[in-house]
Amino acid sequence: MVLLLLLYTFVVPLSFIFFIVHWKLIRSQKRFYDTFRSQGVPGEPFVSLVGQLSEMRRASEKDAGIAYRLELVQKHGYLYLTRFGPYIRLSVMEPDMISDIFGRSHAQDYRKPTNIDKVFKSLIGVHNLLVSEGSEHERARKMLNSAFHFVKLQSMLSVMVEETAKAINELLLSSTQQKVIDLQTELNTLTLAIIASSAFGKGFETMANAKQIVCRAFIEVLEAIEYRTMCMIQQIPIIAQLPF
């Protein structure tokens, strides 16, 4: 009798949890997967819960994320399915399809991922063109249109050329002192320098080591976002609030 009671105590809750997980995370995603495959969309095999997350994490740890994506393109073409954990991901690289997705006439037909604001909140906040939707996105887009007009961009060319020339000279100098140069860091630094000079009319030179400080902070935040994303931390509401 005691054994039976213990059995019910553990088996019933576990069965209930398994049912909820299957219904919420597996069944619905499997239906999406089967629908796409029936329409002729190729993709990686359907693996319950984890999907291709382990392969993605290995590629990320080896700094080979782009190489992994290129392998998938060679294998499946410019339209394919993967699973990021329990979720189906449709990767679109066909120019005509991308134009349709980003076109203003079809903006209401496509939505950003539900947790994109949580992922990038620590880096860019939540009220901006990248993560906003609907009227807020339209307002932000209208505000930026004038700033990125062709004539305005032409006026920034001198700033871009000047900052790029500085970066090249610094790289040439560094190459005589160092055997290895992290191009990702250097290109991030160049991008931030151009943004600071173009948007605010001031370079980083007004503060000692400002360029290195800002760039290092930016990279550290990006690495933290990548870690939390690859560990599925952002997808679990309770764990997402923890500082790791």
Residue 20 CA to residue 55 CA, distance in Å, equals: 26
192 - beta bridge partners? Answer: none
Packing angle of the helix pair 53-61, 65-76 (nearest 10 deg):
130
pTM above 0.85, yes or no: no
**Residues 200, 27: contact at Cβ < 8 Å?**
no
What is the percentage of the chain residues whose pLDDT exceeds 90?
A: 12
Residue with tokens 């089967």: 34
Does residue 244 surpass a pLDDT of 60? no
Give the type of residue at 27: R
Backbone angles phi, psi at 88, to 5 degrees: -75, 135
> What pLDDT score was predicted for residue 91?
92
> Which spans in 51-202 are helix H?
53-61, 65-76, 95-102, 116-124, 134-147, 150-155, 157-175, 183-200
Does residue 216 surpass a pLDDT of 70? yes
pLDDT-based confidence at residue 73 (cuts at 50, 70, 90): very high
DSSP string covering 193-205, please? HHHHHHHHS--GG
Residue 221 CA to residue 188 CA, distance in Å, equals: 13
Does residue 71 surpass a pLDDT of 60? yes
Least confident segment among 3-7, 33-37, 48-52, 154-158:
3-7
87 - beta bridge partners? Answer: 84
- Of 157, 161, 165, the closest CA to residue 173 belongs to 165
Does residue 128 surpass a pLDDT of 80? no
- Of 199, 197, 191, the closest CA to residue 222 belongs to 191
